[in-house]
Structure 1
Amino acid sequence: MDPDDLDTEISSIRAEIRTLHHRRRILTSSLLSSRPLQRLSKTHSLPPPANQSHRQQEWTDISPLLQSSASHAQTNHHRIAFSTTTFPFTDPSPNAEGKSLLGIRIDICARDGRYMKPYYVLLRRVGRSQGGDGGGKKEVKVLRHTIPSVVDMARLERVYLPLESTAEDGEEEEQLKPWKRKSRNQDLKSFVREVRKGLVVWHLRCDAVRYLRETLGVVTRGVDDDALYEDDERPWERDILGPTANTDGAGETRIAKNKFGIVSLGPTSLEAVYVRLEWEDGRVGRFKISNTGVVERAVVIGDAGRDKLTEGILTGGDGRVETLLQRLEKSTVPASPEV
């Protein structure tokens, strides 16, 4: 057998195995969380008769799986109903000023229906003196968080969780007289809402870019070797939204050959606000995704200058980023036959 054919067959078998593993996980989860099986588990939780000890032993072996599945389903139901929850937390650090913390958990659902790893914000209660009577008002400040840098936590905390009076007209706080100082109350509800909004918008943009890449077809280095370009000397690109590239090439991808002639499509940064496009004919483009998933602006430049037609296609129609490839496909006019 030819070595190239053998590599192609091995790659196809590996892809089929990955698909079967994924399907098995889905079927197992669906079966364990089904209502009939859950009801059956409750009826078998009672002590069995003496003549059914062996059957009860078999059921006991599978009972932990059912309990785990039920707990997982209950957690997902809670995530759907309450995407943001609070919980008390005790700081384990022996040098912490305040042991009692307020924790905030934010759950985000991805495009495929899976929940991402939860995001956490830990708030510490602090006191602020009021007037001159020595009284204090309990407020909170961000102690730690797992929010990515795409959300400006410092700005949101400064706007919605101020700890000190703010200066008017840009004057420094120390130079203001007491009657010119303006005190603002904290708005924890708005702070949490804006943090979650920033996370949701970021995930929606990332999911939209992943959807475009998956529609075009993505070739991963070292995994999909059977779909490589022939005689292509262009370097591999690191997938910003995927695993970080390392020494063995994991995380490096290429766009597969497609009918649009697009050879590169990916975000220019982790925020995924701007997406860069490259075509086989040398044209290079960039478009901006708004917070609502609309292509706001687009620029395409080729050898002859700006391509106004393609720019209008990218921003035309309903403007949704998810339908961008459909607009490109409809606008493609077959070349007329030579006479």
Structure 2
Amino acid sequence: MINPEEQSAKPPEDMIGARLDDEITSLQSQISSLKAKRNLQTATILSSHATQATLDRLRKAQTQPTPSAQADVPPDTNPLLAASTSQLLHNQENLYRACGTITTFRVRDPDPNAVDNGNVLGIRVDVSTTGKFINPYYLLLNKPFPDSELLRVHRHTLPPYIPLSSLVEKHLPTGKGSSAMSAKKAVGGKRQDLRRLVRALRGEIVAYHNRITAIKNLRKEFKLDEKASRKGKGREKFIADISAADAEAKQIRIEWVDGKIGRCVVDDDGGVVKCVVIGDEGRDREIERAVLRGRIEGIGERLMEGVY
């Protein structure tokens, strides 16, 4: 017969499993961090001028036919030279995408019945967030009207939360009275401006990703994505959830542990323009004023001022 005291002394299986999960998660995080550091250090070393000068000498020695020059080349330099070439191409691509955030190209529509003989103008928009480039967005335009320079959207890869329709209506109208992209504007017509359209489009994309990143940082700041077994460590949590309340992430929903619910409205520049917080006793004006004092990135710090 099992002694009740001995049975109570044994840790429950769920506690042991939770500890193992925490250890596995911690080890995986450490492995990911070490891999990221190794990749960063490798890229830094391969991109340095001293390393490039040494590798250039090795490349020249490999191309020289004299036996003395070949003897000075170590036998295991080929992988290093290949890694250096790959790193240089990667650096060049990143530099191009960082400086030339908007690029144009020409493609042809394979449809035999396509307008303008299938000629299509492509626009590529590159955006980076949290130190990484995301998949580029593409906008394809064609000329649907004969003997006219008017452009129309042919295809695009933009998500629905980017207001492309309103931007096109404003900067690229094709309706009655619209004029082509020239210096002269027709009387009573709207002039197409492709440059303003692309600039406004990229601004919307960058603003959206900045808002999404800010929401993710807020969740990380309040440790909302940690496992339930790890909760309770450190400071007591007073925020239950932070999330985007609409597709464009211009409205943020904040839920407190004590039941209060708030909603903030953010403008295109990331500033908090409106905020409503309602609890069991009505609106909490103090929290609303605190949230309204700055940008979306500082919401967490302003909320903590009244708690810690």
TM-score of the aligned structures, taking structure 2 as reference length: 0.81
Matches within 5 A, 1:265-276: 265-276=242-253
- Is 2:169 aligned against 1:194? no
- Is 2:20 aligned against 1:6? yes
Structure 2 residue corresponding to 1:323, chosen from 273, 298, 301: 298
Shift of 1:279: 1.2
CA distance in 1, matches of 2:228, 2:33: 17
CA distance in 2, matches of 1:155, 1:122: 17
Q: Which amino acid aligns with 1:261?
A: F
State the partner residue of 2:120: 101
State the partner residue of 1:289: 266
State the partner residue of 2:50: 36
Structure 1 residue corresponding to 2:77, chosen from 42, 54, 59: 59
CA distance in 2, matches of 1:29, 1:144: 37
- Is 2:190 aligned against 1:213? no
For structure 1, the residue ranges without an aligned partner over 5 or more in a row are: 129-135, 168-179, 230-255, 334-339
Shift of 1:10: 2.1
Kept in 2, the 8 Å contact 1:217–1:257? The answer is: no
Q: How many residues align?
A: 282
CA distance in 1, matches of 2:228, 2:237: 22
Shift of 1:207: 1.5
State the partner residue of 1:227: 230
Q: Which amino acid aligns with 1:138?
A: E
Shift of 1:267: 0.8
Q: Which amino acid aligns with 1:75?
A: E
Q: Measured at CA, do residues 54 and 39 of structure 1 come closer, stay the same or move farther in structure 2, by a change above 3 Å?
A: closer
State the partner residue of 1:121: 139
Kept in 1, the 8 Å contact 2:105–2:122? The answer is: yes
State the partner residue of 2:181: none
| Stretch moving more, 322-331 or 187-196 | 322-331
Q: Which amino acid aligns with 2:220?
A: E
State the partner residue of 1:144: 155
TM-score of the aligned structures, taking structure 1 as reference length: 0.74
Q: Measured at CA, do residues 27 and 225 of structure 1 come closer, stay the same or move farther in structure 2, by a change above 3 Å?
A: farther
- Is 2:106 aligned against 1:79? no
For structure 2, the residue ranges without an aligned partner over 5 or more in a row are: 1-10, 179-185
Q: Measured at CA, do residues 7 and 79 of structure 1 come closer, stay the same or move farther in structure 2, by a change above 3 Å?
A: closer
Q: Could you give the per-residue CA deviations for residues 113-166 of structure 1, whole angstroms, max 9, x where no partner exists?
A: 2222211111123334xxxxxxx2223221111112122222222222222324
State the partner residue of 2:7: none
Structure 2 residue corresponding to 1:310, chosen from 260, 270, 287: 287
CA distance in 2, matches of 1:38, 1:92: 44
CA distance in 1, matches of 2:307, 2:121: 56
Q: Which amino acid aligns with 2:128?
A: C
Kept in 2, the 8 Å contact 1:121–1:144? The answer is: yes
Q: Which amino acid aligns with 2:284?
A: D
| Stretch moving more, 13-22 or 43-52 | 43-52
Q: Measured at CA, do residues 162 and 228 of structure 1 come closer, stay the same or move farther in structure 2, by a change above 3 Å?
A: same
Q: Measured at CA, do residues 257 and 88 of structure 1 come closer, stay the same or move farther in structure 2, by a change above 3 Å?
A: farther
Kept in 2, the 8 Å contact 1:284–1:301? The answer is: yes
Kept in 2, the 8 Å contact 1:284–1:302? The answer is: yes
State the partner residue of 1:185: 191
Kept in 2, the 8 Å contact 1:8–1:225? The answer is: no
Structure 1 residue corresponding to 2:40, chosen from 21, 26, 29: 26
Shift of 1:305: 0.9
